Amino acid sequence: MITAFDIYFVGMLDSLKSSMGALSLASIVIGLVGVIILTFVYANDSILDDVQKTQLLKVGKRVLITALIILTLSCGVRTFLPSSKLAAAMYILPAAANNEDLQKIGGNSLKILRDLTEKWLQETADPEKSTKPGTL
């Protein structure tokens, strides 16, 4: 049975996927800040004393590592998170395929379609038998 939470969750999958994309973009920006800090430290080696240099290197490395972890996790979640259409299909198609009433409808409709097609082909082959042109 489909509950209200199931419908809500399937509807929110696309929003969650978009949020993971935004988080990936934010982590790239944070990573660039880390690279800028590290570049500043190495470019201004003569201006900074050892304590400042050590502190800035620690901060830059932490920022860069944090950004890489966030980027990896958000991209992984975004990759393996199904879209709302796929989640709905995963939930509904097995139930529909195992429903005997739906299978009976499918079999009857195919038989009716086959009969109508054969009738149309016979009328097309022999137009004198048809009472109205272009009708089934």
**Tokens matching residue 60:** 């830059």
Predicted pLDDT of residue 107:
65
Q: Which residues contact 24 (CB under 8 A, 6 or more apart)?
A: 70, 71, 74, 75, 78
Predicted pLDDT of residue 50:
84
Name the nearest CA neighbour of 72 among 17, 23, 33. Answer: 23
Residue 132 in this model has a pLDDT that exceeds 70: no
In one letter, which amino acid is 88? A
The residue ranking higher by pLDDT, 35 or 104, is 35
Q: What whole-number distance in Å separates Cα of residue 120 and Cα of residue 104? A: 24
3-class secondary-structure state, position 99: coil
Mean pLDDT of the chain: 82
Give, for 35, the enclosing helix (H) or strand (E): helix 4-43
Predicted pLDDT of residue 69:
93
Predicted pLDDT of residue 112:
80
Residue 33 in this model has a pLDDT that exceeds 80: yes
Predicted pLDDT of residue 134:
56
What confidence tier does 136 reach under pLDDT thresholds 50, 70, 90?
low
3-class secondary-structure state, position 113: helix
Predicted pLDDT of residue 72:
92
The count of residues in the chain is 136
- Per residue in 36-61, pLDDT (tens digit) is 888 888 887 778 788 888 888 888 88
Q: Is the pTM of this model over 0.75?
A: no
Give the single-character DSSP code of 103.
H
State the sign of the Cα–Cα–Cα–Cα dihedral 110, 112, 115, 118. Answer: negative
60 by Cβ neighbours in 10 Å (0-12 / 13-18 / 19+) ranks as buried
- Per residue in 80-120, pLDDT (tens digit) is 888 888 888 888 888 777 777 766 766 677 778 888 888 88
